[in-house]
Amino acid sequence: MGSKCEKSQTTKKDKSSHAPFEILNRYKSQVKRFRQGKIIGPMMSENAFSCQQLSAESIVQLAKMKLLEHTSQNTNELHPVIYPSLPYSNLSRQNLKDVQLTFDLLNAADKFSDKQFDCAEKLLTKCILLSSSADNNNPVERVVKHFAEALRERVEIERGKIDLERTTFNIEENVLSHQLIILECEQKLPSSQVTQFTAIQAILDSIGKSEKIHVIDIGIKSGQHWPIMMQGLANRKNCKLKLLKITAVGTSKDRLEETGKRLSSFAKSMNLPFLFKTVVSEIKDLRKETFLSQDDDEFVALYSGIKLWSLLAWPNDLRTFLNFVKKLNPCVMVVNEVEANTDTSIFIDRFYGALVFSLATFDYLETCLTRDSKHREVVEGLFFGEMIRNIITAEDEERGHRNAKIGFWRDLFAEFDIVETELSDSSLYQARLLIKRNPNWHSCTLHMDGKCMIVGWKGTPLQDSLWDEGKYLEVGGAFEPLESGRSLGVLGIP
């Protein structure tokens, strides 16, 4: 009996040890399609407009088609342009209402761009009236109302009815003051969970057998992602950890210290040698000397979670930060950013970019946080409402809330010799499995742009992340890559 029991346990252990390889084989075809840039997520109809629940991009595309048709009929009465029939017969009543409401909003934005302020105001009044239902249950209505109110304010600014000197919304301060709400929301949102998990996995894949690890977190917030890494390090075999050091960068000393206490407590429970340091500073003012270490064998990782967008209004500050990264010379760098196109001086282009992103985000928040969630109301109203207002009403440096797509980051990072590298197959499998595990995340999609993983909602991109791995050799003030070169891995995400 004893012998048989031992054999059974051994067999079970062997089977368990091969489980990851079974998972890899099972999802091999999916990852191949994934790496080729195909969307992995809910099955979509061949006709994108035939779905009962349209994606944000489909709603805006239909509304733009309707606007083109409307504009053509008004401006070319003698020789009207013939457009193909719009697929309205396949849409539900709610879809039709959403498209019509979005069309009215785009029409108002178009009139504003042409300085037809009276027409724009009439359309905006209509939008606000139609989107102000008693229950306010529809995410498209809520988005349109935010945009219509912001655009009406912009019209009044153009007419000199509103003083341009207004209080600037500080999103970082509001994130800190609502940290518990943000933390609870992030735990229920696939974009946050998937990108944070994949980012940590990318760092763990790079660490190898390093015994001294120094992580620098730019804008650490709650630091909820680092316990994942601590667990990964605690589970390493045949490689004892001598020290895990986390240096947190932020502007609030009290908040940084609170985060440090939580992480130190967790590290103690895992019996990990741990040191937490704080650097109270704006990221544009960071200096290499602040992070110097006497340990030549220390593995240095830099992580930036949804932070670099705050420097887009000040390109020189952004480049100063990247020069700091160059001088710091980390072994690996991971960057998560929102995937949206709102960093443009052309009003109508950023209006479209912000609208698509906001429609996808509000739908995403309602599905993942539930319709009656008070936290959803706070996030939508306080953070995204202010984001929309800033994008539409402000210009130049006053327009601090900006986001750029992966192509921009890829080109900018390349100027500093930061290039993409492959994510491991296991990290891609785990990202997919993490989404499949939660039924509320059924509309979350993943796809690859180059070597960057993009997390989206019904195919509309929300967030991306980038990671860089390599060492630099300084030659006459220029930095050249060692061995096969500096590499940047892109995780993806909003």
- The pLDDT value recorded for residue 381 is 84
Q: Are residues 371 and 424 in the same domain?
A: no
pLDDT tens column, 366-408: 899 876 677 888 888 878 998 999 999 998 888 989 999 999 9
CA distance 45 to 143: 25
Q: Are residues 143 and 244 in the same domain?
A: no
- Please state whether the predicted TM-score (pTM) of the whole model is above 0.75: yes
Q: Are residues 404 and 416 in the same domain?
A: yes
Residue 21 lies in a domain: no
Helices vs strands, H then E, count in the chain: 18, 12
Is the pLDDT at 279 greater than 60, yes or no?
yes
Residue 40 lies in a domain: no
Task: From 398, 413, 440, give the residue that closes a domain.
Answer: 398
Q: Are residues 303 and 353 in the same domain?
A: no
Q: Are residues 459 and 320 in the same domain?
A: yes
Task: Please compute the mean of the pLDDT values over residues 255-272 and round it to a whole number.
Answer: 94
Residue 23 lies in a domain: no
Is the pLDDT at 411 greater than 50, yes or no?
yes
- The pLDDT value recorded for residue 177 is 65
Q: What percent of the chain has pLDDT over 70?
A: 75
Q: Are residues 86 and 146 in the same domain?
A: yes
Q: Are residues 387 and 426 in the same domain?
A: no
Residue 174 lies in a domain: no
Task: From 380, 398, 416, give the residue that closes a domain.
Answer: 398
- The pLDDT value recorded for residue 475 is 27
- The pLDDT value recorded for residue 1 is 38
CA 458 to chain centre: 15
User: 131-145, 186-200, 476-490: which range is least confident on average?
Assistant: 476-490
Q: Are residues 370 and 464 in the same domain?
A: no
Residue 431 lies in a domain: yes
Residue 295 lies in a domain: yes
Q: Are residues 410 and 268 in the same domain?
A: yes
Q: Are residues 127 and 211 in the same domain?
A: no
Q: Higher-confidence residue: 195 or 38?
A: 195
- The pLDDT value recorded for residue 420 is 77
Q: Higher-confidence residue: 223 or 73?
A: 223
Q: Are residues 214 and 331 in the same domain?
A: yes
CATH of residue 314's domain is: 3.40.50.150
What residues have CB less than 8 Å from 130, skipping those under 6 apart? 101, 104, 141, 144
Average pLDDT of every residue of the chain? 79
One-letter amino acid of 203 = I
- The pLDDT value recorded for residue 361 is 93
User: Which pair of structure tokens corresponds to residue 88?
Assistant: 């309205």
One-letter amino acid of 243 = L
Residue 35 lies in a domain: no
User: 24-38, 69-83, 206-220, 316-330: which range is least confident on average?
Assistant: 24-38
Print the domain residue range for 391.
54-166+346-398
Residue 305 lies in a domain: yes
- The β-bridge partners of 447 are 454
Task: Please compute the mean of the pLDDT values over residues 33-54 and round it to a whole number.
Answer: 53
- The pLDDT value recorded for residue 168 is 55
User: Which pair of structure tokens corresponds to residue 265?
Assistant: 């407590």
CA distance 376 to 211: 42
Q: Are residues 142 and 86 in the same domain?
A: yes
Task: Give the chain's domain count.
Answer: 2
CA distance 387 to 380: 10
Task: From 379, 398, 417, give the residue that closes a domain.
Answer: 398
Is the pLDDT at 476 greater than 50, yes or no?
no
What residues have CB less than 8 Å from 412, skipping those under 6 apart? 318, 322
